[in-house]
Structure 1
Amino acid sequence: MTEIEDQSATDIAAGIRAGKVTSEEVTERMLARIAADPGVNAIVETRPEYGLERARAADRSEPTGPLHGVPMTVKDAFNVAGLHTTWGNPGFANYVADWDATVVERLTEAGAIIVGKSNVQEMLADYGQTDNEVYGRTSNPHDLTRTAGGSSGGAAAALAAGMTYLDYGSDLVGSIRLPASYCGVYGLRPTTGVVPLRGFQPPGPPVVETEFPTVSTVGPLARSATDLRTALRVTGAKWWQLQPPRHRKLADYRVGVVLDHDQAPVTGEVGSALSQAVDALGRAGATIVEGWPAGIDPAEQAELFGFQVSLFFALMEGKLPAEAVEQEYKRMAARAAWQQYFEEVDVFLCPTSFTTAFPHDSSPFDERTIDGRPYDAQVFWISLAGLTGLPALSMPVASPGLPVGAQVIAPFHEDDTAITFAELAAAARL
């Protein structure tokens, strides 16, 4: 039988509903696991009394939602009333939020118990590592000398180490998918705009969101693809309904595949694991369609994505670059090209990152390299969905060494096609 700490949030919720386990027991054991942290430093703040009180109340009441009684954490960058929101910035170290982010409100309404917060890179400013002067560095549970990824490294590491059942992160430049890949868990960047951003902000009054589209998103990290669906359903905008997956059998999927590119050549470890996963998909009956979609220049799209990231920060400062409208046309043209591709193909599979988790590196950002490759090569593969706003998730595939993540990109607003594909792939033991 799987240990309680290793089960998915969905399984724990089912166990609580069936009376096989109590929320109080689950919460106590999760808090004990956090307290016994062997040096991962993933969870940076907890509220044990609140968590146990809510757990006992959950055990006395009827189920309130799909996450009833499940303890979980959220990324430090989300406001949770009564907890610090620091963004890893010493200037915000003493700020305690007095209101909940929309994501937190909706998770709580679904029955989840927010017992603490996971670590972040200072001001979320690194996609490859998680470190800050407030809480220190987060390490990878598979090898403490290596990174957990960033900036949601605390979330991914906590899941991998059994310190939480679900976490919510953010993904501007791969900050959900890269940590998920490096730590061997699941992470979803939802279709842009589906999950409200209110309360995902540095300390201060609620931020008025710009009406100009941006590439910033927030989404769940979990131990299973099913948990991603559950979390997305309860946190998505009220106007939005999760579209059904295109298929419910792996053999019915047409899977586009590209596993390497000169701009971000994969390591042998990543290439071998992904190649074996694709072979397993073929044996399971899926149709494999190799090659880039027509009209897609991945290097050009990576460059366009770089502008969009710069635009995001410009908008935060109240500025709108002169070329913004022209760039938005190019972004929409890229999305249209992908949508045309998805008329014939159901999902696109590629690396999440060109590498596995790499050793901690505290050298200046612009001087870092990974096995002789540029540090920013981590952005290449995640930029495809980042630019276009398409839903994309990272799922772990079989690897004899450090975790390897496969990225699954799906059509716009068809998040559940990616999630269901990942579920089926896991069942096929890719």
Structure 2
Amino acid sequence: MSAPAVVDLGIADVLALLQSGQTTSVALTQEYLDRIAAYDDPYGDQPGLAAIILANPDALATAAELDAERAAGSLRGPLHGVPIVVKDNYATFDMPTTAGSIALRSYQTKVDSTAVERLRAAGAIILAKTNMAELAWHGTYTASSERGRTANPYNQANSASGSSGGTAAAVAASFGPAGLGTDSCGSIVGPSAHQSLVGYRPTMGLTSVAGIVPLSLRQDVSGPMTKTVTDAAILMEVLAGYDPADPQTVIADEQDSDIYLEGLSETALVGKRIGYFHWTFEEDPARPGLAETTALVDQAVADLAAQGAEIVDITDTFTREFVSGTLASGGWIDMRHDIDTFFANTEAEWPEGLAELTAPAGALTFTDLIEDGRSSLTQGDIDYFMSAEPIPNQAWIDAGLAQQAGRAAMYQYFLDHDLDAIAMPTSATSATPDWAGTTFCDVGANTGVPTVSLPAGFTSTGAAVGLELAAPRSQDASLLAMSYDYEQATLHRVPPASTPELDHTVPSAGGTPESPAAAPSPTLAATGPADATLQAGVAAGLLAAGGITLVVSQRRRRSHTS
């Protein structure tokens, strides 16, 4: 059975195709692998995305096993047979975990990270490990010593943002229907904004980070990067919940993670109070698009109002001083310590000789990665981390106290202003070859509140723009519902033109297209109220004349021509 057109298919779409019998997991997996082969390395006049560090060599065998189970009437869970890509700091027992470091090319853990374990238990196929900023450090671009620089598929000269730029580029280019990233300060929401995705940074502690190579355990979260809010909700129902291996997940008991899909509604914004502020940013020739981005975000906020939200001007209180002072991140004082602790506590096969490069011999450490001499980190980055004093130290203690104060201030701010959410641009400016960052990552990273970046359109140069919404802690269901209402009213996402459907009529000697060309796509028809089966967690689809009719996931299929 051949695969359908996959450009812009999301999880709910794939589930509908599988459940209707129109395709198989093997056919879909092969199509995604073909797309990786066609577009990840240089092709035509494009540099290639370099989004993938390693495709899973067992992906097709796993897909065949899941197809057989489906045919026998047995489903493992709500993601049965769905290929998913994951950032390469998520430990996988069957593939190396490099965290973007070439020194860790053969670093092989014995077990999965909790998030990957939950994906597999739900029936997902771990399709590939994605490129990332080395050790998750840079948030404005994705470059690693293992894979190099990841390109933005909307303009491959531009940055894919970071540090989860590989996952964002892979999902945007339809190397898989969805993926996982990590976010310490903008590393999910930033790449998602600059590649027209839904990037969800959940309440800190709602999803486990056990088994993920850390940047800062005080700020790290695991979350979905998807094409639709529906898909983000599907993944959140799989990922959320208490994990004994991650003490911070005790907060997961504050909410019912089974209602994320059920709560999606096209009227969720009615009566919600959303704060919006109007800071004045100065034009920067090195970071263009300020005026257009501001206009698009202003329009996005107007769209929130059109859906029934009350927009509250908070310019006088949500000030630069409040964000950059009270809510500011405490930095990454704990990076070196947290990485060393991960290596010490994670059973794994180490690259031969790596642990002997620095003292203490026989213990794999951050300094061994640096001594290897091939890191893509700058000397300034290296000096910063190497100068860190052993933890606990006074700077670490002070940063923790500042973070606690920021969390308390954010909690109180929502109460004092009676707000259900705060709206802001994910990034005030557009992607460039060297930069694609975020403007307000501290709001979520330092305070632990959930934030989401949603597609808000494109500038005249074709650069994607994101609207960021932040909600009070543990209000994830409400934030997803508001996001869904906005998404369905606007439908801004379009696929990138540089990675169209594959034309399988002209295969190369290696079995992948030499000159990929656009091919017709099936139509996705909008439907009415959500199907109860999908609301229960299995995104059901119905076969309809002229294409696939999906419930909840309602999108127009267009082409991005910029």
The TM tier, using the shorter chain, reads: 0.7 to 0.9
In 1, the alpha carbon distance for the partners of 2:136 and 2:283 equals 23
In 2, the alpha carbon distance for the partners of 1:297 and 1:320 equals 32
CA positional deviation for 1:114: 0.1
Alignment match, 1:251: 270
CA positional deviation for 1:342: 3.0
Task: In structure 2, list runs of 5 or more residues that go unmatched.
Answer: 243-249, 341-389, 493-562
Moved more, 15-24 or 261-270: 261-270
Kept in 2: contact 1:304–1:387 (CA 8 A): no
In 2, the alpha carbon distance for the partners of 1:406 and 1:353 equals 8
Alignment match, 1:405: 466
Out of 302, 313, 322, the residue aligned to residue 290 of structure 1 is: 313
In 1, the alpha carbon distance for the partners of 2:282 and 2:19 equals 49
1:160-179 alignment, distance < 5 Å: 160-179=172-191
Alignment match, 1:188: 200
In 1, the alpha carbon distance for the partners of 2:440 and 2:304 equals 21
In 1, the alpha carbon distance for the partners of 2:103 and 2:308 equals 55
Task: In structure 1, list runs of 5 or more residues that go unmatched.
Answer: 203-208, 362-369
Alignment match, 1:6: 8
Confirm or deny that 1:340 pairs with 2:395: no
Kept in 1: contact 2:329–2:445 (CA 8 A): no
**Amino acid across the alignment from 1:340:** Q
In 2, the alpha carbon distance for the partners of 1:341 and 1:303 equals 14
Q: Deviations for 1:121-180, whole angstroms, at most 9, x for unmatched residues?
A: 112121011112221111000001000001110000011111111111111121111111
1:11-410 alignment, distance < 5 Å: 11-37=13-39, 38=43, 39-48=48-57, 50-61=58-69, 62-201=74-213, 214-238=218-242, 240=252, 241-242=255-256, 248=265, 249=267, 250-262=269-281, 267-292=290-315, 294=317, 296-303=318-325, 308-313=330-335, 315-316=337-338, 318-322=390-394, 324-343=396-415, 344-359=418-433, 361=434, 378=437, 380-400=439-459, 401-410=462-471
**Amino acid across the alignment from 2:256:** L
Kept in 2: contact 1:155–1:167 (CA 8 A): yes
Moved more, 102-111 or 10-19: 10-19
**Amino acid across the alignment from 1:57:** E
In 1, the alpha carbon distance for the partners of 2:116 and 2:329 equals 31
**Amino acid across the alignment from 2:145:** E
Q: TM-score, normalised by structure 1?
A: 0.86
Number of aligned positions between the proteins: 404
CA positional deviation for 1:230: 1.4
Q: Deviations for 1:321-357, whole angstroms, at most 9, x for unmatched residues?
A: 3255554444334333333343422111101112121
In 2, the alpha carbon distance for the partners of 1:357 and 1:254 equals 31
Q: Secondary structure at the match of 1:45?
A: strand
Q: Secondary structure at the match of 1:221?
A: strand
Kept in 2: contact 1:180–1:186 (CA 8 A): yes
Distance 1:103 1:229, change over 3 A: same
Kept in 2: contact 1:233–1:242 (CA 8 A): no
In 1, the alpha carbon distance for the partners of 2:11 and 2:422 equals 27
Alignment match, 2:368: none
CA positional deviation for 1:19: 2.3
In 1, the alpha carbon distance for the partners of 2:113 and 2:279 equals 39
Q: Secondary structure at the match of 1:116?
A: strand
Alignment match, 1:366: none
**Amino acid across the alignment from 2:477:** D
Structure with higher Rg: it is: 2
Q: Secondary structure at the match of 2:149?
A: coil
Kept in 2: contact 1:259–1:275 (CA 8 A): no
CA positional deviation for 1:111: 0.9
Percent sequence identity over aligned pairs = 30
In 1, the alpha carbon distance for the partners of 2:20 and 2:330 equals 47
Which gives a bigger RCO, structure 1 or 2 (Cα 8 Å, sep 6+)?
2
Distance 1:325 1:398, change over 3 A: same
Q: Deviations for 1:15-55, whole angstroms, at most 9, x for unmatched residues?
A: 3123232212211111111111141111121124x211221
Alignment match, 1:364: none
In 1, the alpha carbon distance for the partners of 2:127 and 2:116 equals 11
**Amino acid across the alignment from 1:220:** P
